[in-house]
A and B are shown apart, each in its own frame.
Chain A
């Protein structure tokens, strides 16, 4: 943990993620205004002490909406990553444990599923289940699960071919036991790094899907949908688009840098190289 904070990428990433997480937690208990409270007399107010980022067309406080948006982004990124891990990690282990005929078929299948765009999955799920933050997050998680499986499987193979795994095999341990007690703990750091990268991708995907109208439905504040709603203002007041765009960037950058920092500190192979 301390090593992570000594790493420049890790430190910046941790700070950015902490800022967004604090905003999300804060918005659970307090926001300056009710983010959904409409005030027709206070539309398009400029930023001021009363409204830090001004108000939107309906007089809703933009800063409050931004804080609540952090909940949506982090919540859906966490859900998507959980789905990706729950499906992807056993799939990776399964590929490694099955005979090569089955696993070779599975790998071809995964190659193709990676090509199946998450967007299409999201469109299908949202058209049939209705749009919600969670539907979109599950679609993103399903899409990411095959990527997790494919990137984690080689790590498992490496750990499984290592001396300690062979030693356990010689001692009579079953392949399932070796997987659980030796391989997965040793591949653990890589898995954590991968999942951090999935978090970044999921946050970006949530914003994109919400922008297109396949994610968080109105009126729940979401950074991506706020951008879509503000887009007509680009001619007259382009500055209102800045805050949500920056927020999306901060959270994605935060997770990416955190992932890089974790990789540098956890993975002994890259620990010394200066990337």
Chain B
């Protein structure tokens, strides 16, 4: 696993030999260019795919009894009678200003709706990610450094189950045991007044966060374990051991630094999975997050809302990916230091 992943995201386009700040600026500039191009490509893909849907959006919204004149009026009101290119540019320039249009159904601001839903989805994803990394790094290092002992093997075997578990099944199991039978935590839902009472809000996010963290942790442990096994076999570890360092000290002081790099890369790869997991979990726990919004809008054929949500999700993931790439450039010792 480790070998191809270390090849991820080495974007040191600026020639070596330049001062570090300049190389960094070059790398950031290149990444920013890639980001803008990718966001444009993604927005075009989302827009065109939804624009050329079979079935006329205005006709569906107007209902089966509407006359042709009513449909035409609605089309005009929604701006669907304009040329495609105008509609696209209008949408993209609006999006840059933070305006994603208004819902076709209730006329509410799409961006405002998304902002509200992200108050649920972002804490859920961030908490699950932080918990997973905090558990997975020590656990994976132990399992890797002691991979021939029974507990090293046991951790390895457990992660096999962890990555095979469908996240929604884990959620359902937790709901039925912790919430329904023990009655410790709320079964489903989120306070309607959102974060007005932080304790209530947090309580309803505990089970979803654990659910989302379980497969993520298992995947990360597998990765850290395999990276640690590789590291333990390295010659510099043997040298350090010969100098009287304990295995744990070598791993913590040197190995952690070596594992940090691929870890940043793998976290980037997990982002899309994290989003998919979050959408599934919002469905299991009836959380009013962005996934629920997306499912509802697809069901209602509220295209303005759907394309706004898709663009937001894609942008967030791409921006975080690029940010991770830049961090990667920063912490990679091969791209650092030497003047």
Binding site for B on A (CB under 8 A): 108-109, 111-112, 114-120, 123-129, 143, 150-151, 154-155, 200, 204-205, 207-208, 211-213, 224, 227-228, 231, 234-235, 238, 241, 245, 248-249, 252-253, 256-257, 260, 273-275
Do B166 and A118 touch across chains, with their CB atoms under 8 A apart?
no
Given contacts A115-B317, A116-B314, A150-B4, contact A128 B166 (CB under 8 A): no
B275 contact set on A, CB distance < 8 A: 117, 119
CB distance from B313 to the nearest CB of A (A): 6
Do A108 and B284 touch across chains, with their CB atoms under 8 A apart?
no
A274 contact set on B, CB distance < 8 A: 147-148
Give the interface segment out of B88-96, B115-123, B156-164, B200-208: B156-164
Give the interface segment out of B78-86, B127-135, B173-181, B247-255: B173-181
Bound CA span A19–B270, Å: 30
A260 contact set on B, CB distance < 8 A: 160
**Which residue from B11, B45, B164 sits with its C-beta under 8 Å from A252?**
B164
> A108, A125, A126, A257: which has the most chain B beta carbons within 10 Å?
A108
Do B325 and A111 touch across chains, with their CB atoms under 8 A apart?
yes
Do A111 and B272 touch across chains, with their CB atoms under 8 A apart?
no
**Which residue from B9, B42, B50, B317 sits with its C-beta under 8 Å from A127?**
B50
**Which residue from A116, A118, A127, A154 sits with its C-beta under 8 Å from B53?**
A127
Bound CA span A124–B168, Å: 22
Do A273 and B169 touch across chains, with their CB atoms under 8 A apart?
no
Do B269 and A124 touch across chains, with their CB atoms under 8 A apart?
no
B34 contact set on A, CB distance < 8 A: 108, 111-112
Closest to A252 in B: B164
**Which residue from A109, A151, A212, A256 sits with its C-beta under 8 Å from B283?**
A212
A228 contact set on B, CB distance < 8 A: 283
Given contacts A124-B46, A275-B229, contact A248 B160 (CB under 8 A): no
CB distance from B278 to the nearest CB of A (A): 10
Closest to B3 in A: A154
A120 contact set on B, CB distance < 8 A: 46, 310, 313-314
Do B164 and A200 touch across chains, with their CB atoms under 8 A apart?
yes
B14 in the interface (beta carbon within 8 A): no
**Which residue from B45, B168, B306, B310 sits with its C-beta under 8 Å from A208?**
B168
Given contacts A123-B298, A127-B53, A257-B160, contact A115 B268 (CB under 8 A): yes
**Which residue from A111, A151, A275 sits with its C-beta under 8 Å from B4?**
A151
Do B313 and A256 touch across chains, with their CB atoms under 8 A apart?
no
**Which residue from A111, A118, A151, A249 sits with its C-beta under 8 Å from B169?**
A249
Closest to A125 in B: B49
B233 contact set on A, CB distance < 8 A: 273
Bound CA span A234–B283, Å: 14
Closest to A237 in B: B176
User: Can you give 9 contacting A-B residue pairs, CB < 8 Å?
Assistant: A114-B269, A120-B314, A127-B298, A224-B168, A227-B166, A228-B283, A245-B169, A256-B163, A257-B160
Do A123 and B294 touch across chains, with their CB atoms under 8 A apart?
yes
A273 contact set on B, CB distance < 8 A: 229, 233
Bound CA span A114–B11, Å: 16
B46 contact set on A, CB distance < 8 A: 120, 124
Given contacts A234-B176, A275-B156, contact A204 B166 (CB under 8 A): yes
B335 contact set on A, CB distance < 8 A: none
In chain B between 57 and 93, which residues have their CB closer than 8 angstroms to a CB of chain A?
none
Given contacts A208-B280, A249-B166, contact A128 B180 (CB under 8 A): no
Do B175 and A211 touch across chains, with their CB atoms under 8 A apart?
no
CB distance from A62 to the nearest CB of B (A): 16
CB distance from B100 to the nearest CB of A (A): 15
